[in-house]
Structure 1
Amino acid sequence: MPQENSARRDELMTELQGEARRSMAAYALFNQAVADHLGLHPTDVQCLNLLGLERDPVTIGRIAELTGLTTGSATRLVDRLERAGYVRRERDAEDRRRVMVAPVPERMAGLGALWRRLNGTWGTLFEDYDESELALLTGYMRRTVELSAVQIERLRSGAFEEPDGGV
């Protein structure tokens, strides 16, 4: 559905863009605080978050895909998580040559408990929304994740160069 271009819409778009920037910055700072609390790197925390969404153990290649890291960087990330006791490497039962990375259930349970304590107050943010508004927010989050993946790829591939060589 095409949107009419109005002064009010322009004003709302400017406000939305500003709030989106504040939200992203707040989340990055929150993620850093969680990482500091756990003695981890922020990327390690988000890797654990993503591993918690996977059904089964994954390869380092899959971790690289999930995080957007190179396989070398993903290997170093797994090394850190293994030293911290959050994951373990195990041989794939079907292909013994393949190494899988599996979360350590007890450590993930502790991390889950921390998230539940932190998320308890976050959940109250959504109490006043009806089902259609929650569906709208969920769709927005999905689209944000998809767009972020595209923009990350553009930045990493060098396809996002400014004409004047700037940032």
Structure 2
Amino acid sequence: MSPTGPRTGRRNRLLSELSVAARHYTAAYALFNQALADHFGMHPTDVQCLNLLSLESGRVTIGRVGELTGLSTGAATRLVDRLERAGYVTRERDPQDRRRVLVTTVPERMAAFGQVWHELSRAWWQMFEEYDEEHLDALLTHMRRTVELSAVQIARLRAGDVSGPGPADPG
């Protein structure tokens, strides 16, 4: 018996379909993110960084940009360089600690970014309107658990805690 109950033929079929649908879902999101990045003339990581910065309550350090994006400090610095050249962020020295650099989004540029995001997201909100509260709760639970599990899986990958060939072993 599985932890969630007995395995039935229907359950096995649903799990199999879920596996395929999840791969399509992940690919669709990556392709959407790429198209959005192409629209703005940016790299997909830059678009996701702007998305994540819009969820922060204020200025952030380069280190925080690295935490949000999973990038090293050097790569986060290069990302901020690109965003600054594109006019989406500014940076300044922290007046309390001159060694720290604070990154601030540019409201006008973020508003333009947000306008495109808002226009595109209307279709998703219309789709969500079709779901009752129980389904919305299940979706929200799934999304939150996916974010948590993704963080664990990212850490495993970065720690080399996954068997099979990696970048140093083309295999």
Take 1:110 and 1:166, find their aligned partners in 2: how far apart are those partners? 42
- Aligned structure 1 segments of 4 or more residues deviating by more than 2 angstroms: 91-97
TM-score normalised according to structure 1 size: 0.93
In structure 1, the residue matched to 2:127 is: 125
Q: How big is each residue's C-alpha offset from its partner over 1:67-107, in whole Å with a ceiling of 9 and x where there is no partner?
A: 11111111110000000000110222433332111111110
Q: How big is each residue's C-alpha offset from its partner over 1:3-60, in whole Å with a ceiling of 9 and x where there is no partner?
A: 2211111110010111111011001001000000100000000000000000011111
Percent sequence identity over aligned pairs: 62
Take 2:148 and 2:103, find their aligned partners in 1: how far apart are those partners? 25
Indicate which of 7, 14, 30 corresponds to 2:16.
14
Take 1:2 and 1:13, find their aligned partners in 2: how far apart are those partners? 12
In structure 2, the residue matched to 1:4 is: 6
Residues 84, 8 of structure 1: alpha-carbon distance in 2 compared, 3 angstrom cutoff: same
Indicate which of 17, 32, 35 corresponds to 1:33.
35
Equivalent residues in 2 for 1:41-60 (5 A)?
Answer: 41-60=43-62
Take 2:41 and 2:148, find their aligned partners in 1: how far apart are those partners? 29
In structure 1, the residue matched to 2:152 is: 150
Take 1:2 and 1:143, find their aligned partners in 2: how far apart are those partners? 16
Residues 110, 160 of structure 1: alpha-carbon distance in 2 compared, 3 angstrom cutoff: same
In structure 2, the residue matched to 1:113 is: 115
> What secondary structure sits across from 2:60 in the alignment?
coil
Q: How big is each residue's C-alpha offset from its partner over 1:120-141, in whole Å with a ceiling of 9 and x where there is no partner?
A: 1111111111112111101100
> What secondary structure sits across from 1:129 in the alignment?
coil
Bigger drift between 31-40 and 87-96 goes to 87-96
TM-score normalised according to structure 2 size: 0.91
Q: Which runs of 5+ in 2 are unaligned?
A: none
Q: CA offset at residue 150 of structure 1?
A: 1.1
RMSD over aligned Cα, in angstroms?
1.7
How many residue pairs end up in the alignment?
A: 166
> What secondary structure sits across from 1:137 in the alignment?
helix
